């Protein structure tokens, strides 16, 4: 996700940056107009669900399959990779960055995966309405680092966000974090256990089913080492 230092005027601070980037290509505009609506879970936005009634994942995927969640999917390559590798799983991706959403939709078309749902907005809106203990695995891959100390409270690995995530994670659920920022690792190791998770593994080696993202490749080119953290919800 891309960074913007503009302060939010809403009651809650955004953990992501800007939501628009370069002008979309014509094909990307087509993806947004033709594909997004059918992939978007209903009842997530405050306009659709002001009372914040629970949204049943079975209504999203049509059955009671296990549900995974990716918070901030960037360009969508990891999300599509996991959907193709685990076709029996329902995976929800949440991302407010319009250019990233458009890139994901193009990848979905190319891969032909059918077990994805896309929330084009703040992941917190989704976390508020998913039922308790309804998510079996969650991913946070190369989140916005907010490197300046005064912005660390905007990072996703703060209690305001993590408590929401912990509520929807089922017992035994895995929470994976990938980042190239050592201070983000420090904060995650401190804050994630406070929200009710246990550290399982801290590694310089990725998971066996990991797909390196564009953000990771950029980090490697610039000499930053990736870190991979695995937590479990007891």
Instruction: Reply yes or no on whether the pLDDT at 187 is more than 90.
Output: yes
Asked if residue 13 is part of any domain, the answer here is no
Q: Are 79 and 70 in contact (CB under 8 A)?
A: yes
Asked if residue 6 is part of any domain, the answer here is no
101-134, pLDDT tens digit by residue?
A: 999 999 999 999 999 999 999 999 999 999 999 9
Instruction: Reply yes or no on whether the pLDDT at 24 is more than 90.
Output: no
Residue 61, CB-side half-sphere exposure with 13 Å CA sphere: 21
Instruction: Reply yes or no on whether the pLDDT at 19 is more than 60.
Output: no
Q: Which segment of 111-115, 150-154, 190-194, 208-212 scores lowest on mean pLDDT? A: 150-154
Instruction: Reply yes or no on whether the pLDDT at 15 is more than 70.
Output: no
Asked if residue 140 is part of any domain, the answer here is yes
The pLDDT score that the predictor gives to residue 18 is: 52
Asked if residue 184 is part of any domain, the answer here is yes
Asked if residue 56 is part of any domain, the answer here is yes
Give the active site residues: 144
Q: Are 155 and 144 in contact (CB under 8 A)?
A: yes
Dump the DSSP string for 123-161: HHHHHHHSPTT-EEEEEEES-----SGGGGGGSSSSHHH
Report the pLDDT averaged over residues 51-68. 96
CA-to-CA dists, residue 59 to 41, 92, 93, 167, 206, angstroms: 9, 13, 16, 20, 33
As for how many domains the chain has, the answer is: 1
Separation of alpha carbons 140 and 164, rounded Å: 14
Asked if residue 66 is part of any domain, the answer here is yes
> 113 is in which domain, residue-wise?
26-232
CATH of the domain at 228: 3.40.50.150
Question: What is the bridge-based pairing of β-strands 227-232 and 198-203?
Answer: antiparallel
């Amino acid at each position: 996700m891309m960074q913007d230092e503009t302060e939010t005027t809403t009651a809650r601070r955004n953990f992501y940056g800007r939501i628009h980037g370069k002008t979309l290509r014509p094909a990307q505009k087509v993806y947004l107009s033709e594909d997004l609506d059918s992939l978007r879970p209903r009842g997530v936005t405050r306009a659709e669900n002001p009372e914040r009634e629970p949204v049943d994942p079975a209504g999203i995927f049509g059955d009671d399959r296990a549900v995974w969640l990716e918070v901030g999917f960037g360009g969508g390559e990891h999300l599509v990779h996991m959907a193709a590798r685990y076709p029996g799983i329902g995976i929800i991706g949440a991302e407010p960055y319009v250019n990233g959403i458009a890139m994901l939709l193009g990848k979905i078309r190319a891969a032909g995966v059918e077990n994805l749902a896309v929330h084009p907005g703040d992941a917190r809106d989704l976390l508020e309405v998913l039922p308790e203990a309804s998510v079996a695995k969650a991913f946070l891959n190369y989140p916005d680092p907010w490197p300046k100390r005064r912005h660390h409270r905007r990072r996703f690995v703060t209690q305001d966000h993590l408590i929401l995530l912990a509520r929807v994670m089922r017992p035994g659920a895995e929470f994976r974090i990938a980042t190239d920022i050592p201070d983000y690792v420090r904060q995650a190791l401190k804050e994630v256990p406070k929200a009710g998770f246990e550290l399982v593994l801290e590694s310089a080696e990725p998971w066996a089913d990991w797909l390196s993202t564009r953000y990771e490749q950029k980090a490697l080119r610039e000499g930053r080492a990736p870190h991979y953290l695995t937590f479990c919800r007891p």
